[in-house]
């Protein structure tokens, strides 16, 4: 059932029972599976695969939402699997939810209002992301992760299965547990993405100083900049920590 006001490229394929609302725009080569529902001010790019029973662009689960014309934007070459829910934004969060490019969203994932998900991220089964969260590029969540509202997950970070994240996760980190704690850097992921051994060693040394030394935070940040500040990735790590409002996930001190 396609509203005549919807804008669909002529190459879009729709499965039986799919529902497309009046303000939806879908780009070339995108396929929508049976009984998926796409509504609201939702823009979907090219070559996306949206599987059966997905709910895309529905009104947010926010009691402050009053029907404002918020939006959902989904980029190109994404795979959105069965029973996922992705909600559009709210006035209190910039009016926009955005999914980047080349993102895999597995079964039963929920992406709440005003979230930003970076390119090449993988959200495994039953990952639940509360409102106003920001995930950088190449973030990986294993199954059944939960991310608290307003949290940030840095680029190239990985969340182990069942992680419950209540603070910001630094880029390049690996975290696990309830509440999630730092367990090291995502070395395997960085190797797969072409990070050099020298850069991985610099990041590992930076994490050791920042999270495992007895230095005060500012002293640790200063030392890392002095020793490894020539690396843009290390400066990115420092900037992420300094701009954190919720605090950064730390190591288990037991």
Is residue 110 annotated as a catalytic residue, yes or no?
no
Considering the candidates 27, 45, 118, 131, report the single residue annotated as catalytic.
131
Considering the candidates 114, 146, 154, 168, report the single residue annotated as catalytic.
114
Considering the candidates 40, 76, 110, 113, report the single residue annotated as catalytic.
113
Is residue 131 annotated as a catalytic residue, yes or no?
yes
2-27 burial: b if 16+ Cβ within 10 Å, else e: beeebebeeebebeeebbbbebbbbb
Is residue 113 annotated as a catalytic residue, yes or no?
yes
Long-range contacts of 60-66 (CB under 8 A, 24+ apart): 60/87, 60/88, 60/89, 60/90, 60/112, 60/113, 60/114, 60/131, 61/87, 61/112, 61/113, 62/90, 62/92, 62/113, 62/131, 64/90, 64/91, 64/92, 65/90, 65/91, 65/113, 66/91
* Residues belonging to the active site: 113-114, 131
């Amino acid at each position: 059932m396609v509203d005549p006001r919807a804008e669909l490229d002529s190459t879009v394929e729709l499965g039986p029972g799919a529902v497309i609302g009046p303000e939806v725009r879908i780009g070339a080569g995108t396929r929508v599976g049976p009984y998926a529902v796409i509504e609201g001010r939702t823009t979907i790019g090219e070559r996306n695969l949206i599987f059966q029973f997905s709910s895309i662009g529905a009104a947010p689960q926010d009691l402050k939402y009053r029907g404002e014309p918020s939006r959902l934007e989904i980029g190109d070459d994404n795979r959105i699997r069965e029973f996922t829910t992705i909600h559009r934004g709210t006035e209190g969060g910039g009016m926009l939810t955005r999914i980047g490019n080349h993102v895999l969203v597995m079964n039963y994932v929920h992406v709440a209002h005003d979230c930003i998900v970076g390119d090449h991220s993988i959200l495994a089964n039953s990952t639940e992301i509360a409102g106003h969260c920001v995930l950088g590029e190449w973030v990986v969540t294993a199954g059944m992760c939960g991310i608290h509202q307003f949290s940030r997950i840095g680029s190239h970070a990985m969340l182990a299965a069942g992680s419950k994240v209540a603070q910001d996760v630094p880029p390049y980190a690996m975290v696990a547990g309830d509440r999630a704690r730092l367990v090291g850097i995502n070395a395997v992921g960085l190797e797969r993405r072409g990070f050099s051994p020298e850069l991985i060693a610099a990041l590992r040394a930076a994490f050791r100083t920042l999270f495992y030394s007895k230095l005060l935070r500012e002293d640790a940040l200063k030392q890392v900049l002095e020793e490894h500040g020539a690396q843009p990735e290390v400066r990115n790590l420092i900037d992420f920590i300094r701009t954190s409002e919720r605090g950064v996930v730390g190591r288990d001190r037991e």
